[in-house]
Amino acid sequence: MFQYLTTIFSVIFLVNMCFGEEPAVMRLTGDWTVEVQFRGQTATLNIDPSDQFDVKAEKYDRLPLYNEQRTWNNELVLTQTKGTDDFPTSFALVSGSVIVRDGSGANAKIFESEKDYNVFTRWGAVGRTPESRIGEHQPVWIDYRYGKMRIDSVVLTKDGKIELRKGTPHIMMPQPPSIVDGERRLGNIWIKANTERLDANALFPILETEFHEPPKTQGNTVAEKLLPKTMAKINSGEKLRILAWGDSVTDAGYLKDPKTERWQEQFVKRLQKRFPNAKIELLTEAWGGRGSGSYLAEPAGSKYNFKEKILDLKPDLIIMEFVNDAGLSGEALIKQYSILLESFRKIGAEWIILAPHYVRTDWMGLDRERNIDDDPRQYVKDLRRFAAENRIALADAAARYGRLWRQGIPYSTLMSNNINHPDKTGLKIFADALMELFP
């Protein structure tokens, strides 16, 4: 029972919103009830629990050995817990719901959990134990229960009433329900797949409708100060060769249409529109699952040799995105990025570094997705310092991701793999950060 008489989780924000007034106050008053106060009226909203579904007798041709050393990429992940491109969804599987049988009929034998098989609940994985009575190539039928995420919205209707609008459940990337002209979204409520009761971290009052872009002064933008060669070619109409260099987020093979949806494609399209006389050539070099140091370590003739794949292309502007560099910090970052800086200067290339997006909360050292303006990663702190001290243009996507909660958006709902692969909307944030640099 929710002890609302002794503990009331409240979310009260006293900052101004971009539409010029204080936001709604959203406060939990029960396990599944939220009180909303706005413009002198109060509404109590009853939230539906998380949406869960039963799967019966789902057949698998074999059950591999359980490997507790593997995290999200286990050999067998239950089908309905997978999301985009067969990536497993974190905590979609309901704990204790898995039943493994040797057939689908009423007389099928039921195997014993922990004796015949183990379950990795977080990632929906199942595997045989070494002592299992399940044969290596024996088919099995599995029952289980899984949940989908949902984002509900608190809406101010045209006639000024506060109402709850339920979102559509989704295994990985739930979207807030739509609103119509004349309505206003006051906040969102994030219901995770296995939510037993709401807590304060599920409440996302709308504090901003968009990221507050810093003011620009002609002749004083980052590009004009730190990217003079790039700006000269843009303004003269001389061909500008841009190289997007990065990891899987730059390759973005997980997207439906990478050639139009990748951050670099979105950015160049917008840059071309802003400067219609510019002649821009876009090249992409990416290596999924690797960092910038991986290129430096590759020998001559390798598919990913730094000199041959980056420097020999003679780019005018290199835009670097490596979320996989986030493990670098301190002297290691300075040493590695100083090598890059010297190499780029030798070929006359200018450099923009993209500060990375937010990723899985436990990788970030976070336990929530709101009140997270300040990126806790040491890499980001050191990267900002390195860029400032060496006069390198920094497109700070991290700063923008850190404020998504203010717009009512749990940032992980923009991840197509529930971990670190932003979808088209998430990649637009990179393009936004890049466009901020230019006049």
Domain edges within the chain: 10-49+149-205, 51-147, 222-435
What token pair was written down for 90? 């974190």
pLDDT > 90 in the chain, percent: 89
Please give the Cα distance from 241 to 160 (Å, whole number).
53
Confidence class for position 69, pLDDT limits 50, 70, 90:
confident
Mean pLDDT of 58-66: 96
In contact, 240 and 278? CB cutoff 8 Å: yes
Partner residues linked to 351 by β-bridges: 318
Confidence class for position 68, pLDDT limits 50, 70, 90:
confident
CATH (residue range 222-435): 3.40.50.1110
pLDDT tens-digit series, residues 78-107: 999 998 777 889 899 999 999 999 999 999
Closest residue by Cα to residue 369 from 244, 230, 201, 241: 201
Tell me how far the alpha carbon of residue 159 is from its chain's centroid.
Answer: 36
Alpha carbons within 13 A on the beta-carbon side of 274: 16
Cα–Cα distances in angstroms (integers) from residue 1 to residues 31, 47, 192, 336, in the given order? 8, 16, 19, 54
Please give the Cα distance from 314 to 75 (Å, whole number).
42
pLDDT tens-digit series, residues 246-274: 999 999 999 999 999 999 999 999 999 99
Confidence class for position 20, pLDDT limits 50, 70, 90:
low
pLDDT recorded at residue 4: 37
State if pTM tops 0.95: no
Closest residue by Cα to residue 395 from 265, 262, 221: 221
What is the CA angle 57-61-62, rounded to 5? 105
Enclosing H/E stretch for 153: strand 150-156
pLDDT tens-digit series, residues 339-382: 999 999 999 999 999 999 999 999 999 999 999 999 999 999 99
Residue type present at position 199: D
In contact, 318 and 227? CB cutoff 8 Å: no
pLDDT tens-digit series, residues 43-61: 999 999 999 999 999 999 9
pLDDT tens-digit series, residues 23-35: 999 999 999 999 9
